[in-house]
Amino acid sequence: AVKGVDPTIQTTCNTSTVINDPEMSARFFKVFDILQPELTSLKSNAHLREWVRKSGKTLWTYKCNGGLGSRGKNPYEYYRVYAWDLVKYGLTGTGVWTYCAQAQSQRLGGYLLIHRLGDEVTHARRYEMFREGIDDYRYISALREVAKRRGSAAVRKAEKLIQQAVDDVTSHVEDTTLCDKWRRRIAKEIIANLHS
């Protein structure tokens, strides 16, 4: 019915559940243009990963973890490393369902809103981590683009570097230096591709 009104409308489905009946699942997911399962489900469920990859649909994801201000939680991994997970799983879109990490003992504004600092406005650090992650993803995309213009050997070299970076960053989420380290190496490779 929606496509009958306007065939250019894009529909998304953010379920992480695969219906037990494969034929019914195929009918259900067929009506959506974009599949967007929750990232934790996607990481932990090999059947779900295989299902969405075989769908031929555009794949996005989102995160939905509350209580990030609690002891033992890692907001760096949640917001900054997120982009590297997108690359790892071949995802092209993202969202954060629980951005403010609400907990009764926390003040919501500390996570979500922008703050005044003297005469300037500064964003909350969680927002900045998320933005930095988006920039990491943009650097990876830029490297792929310039390598593609240079040919298959450059593409292979770029993909090897990207894979090393993704493996390192996503395997060591407690090391808050790795995203910047790999972004610098990727930037150097972009420049090398542009000037050779």
Query: What DSSP line would sit under 111-173, residue for residue?
Result: HHS-EEETTEEE--HHHHHHHHHHHHHHHHHHHHHHHHHH-HHHHHHHHHHHHHHHHHHHH-T
Phi then psi for residue 62, to 5 deg, are -150, 165
- Which pLDDT does position 105 carry in this prediction? 42
- Which pLDDT does position 128 carry in this prediction? 85
- Which pLDDT does position 177 carry in this prediction? 97
- Which pLDDT does position 17 carry in this prediction? 67
Compute and round to an integer the Cα radius of gyration of the chain.
19
Supply 101's token pair: 């990490």
- CA distance from start to end of the chain: 52
How many residues belong to the chain?
196
State which amino acid sits at residue 90: G
- Which pLDDT does position 98 carry in this prediction? 52
Which residues are CB-contacts of 187 (< 8 A; sequence separation ≥ 6)? 139
45 three-class SS: coil
Whole-prediction pTM value? Answer: 0.79
Provide the residue-wise pLDDT of the chain in tens; the chain has 196 residues: 888 899 899 888 887 666 677 777 777 778 889 888 888 888 888 888 888 888 888 888 888 776 555 566 788 898 899 999 999 999 988 876 654 444 444 444 444 455 566 666 666 777 788 889 999 999 999 999 999 999 999 999 999 999 999 999 999 999 999 999 999 999 999 999 998 7
Q: Are 91 and 53 a contacting pair, CB within 8 Å?
A: no
- Dihedral sign (CA 104, 106, 111, 112): positive
- Dihedral sign (CA 47, 53, 55, 61): positive
State which amino acid sits at residue 175: D
- Which pLDDT does position 106 carry in this prediction? 42
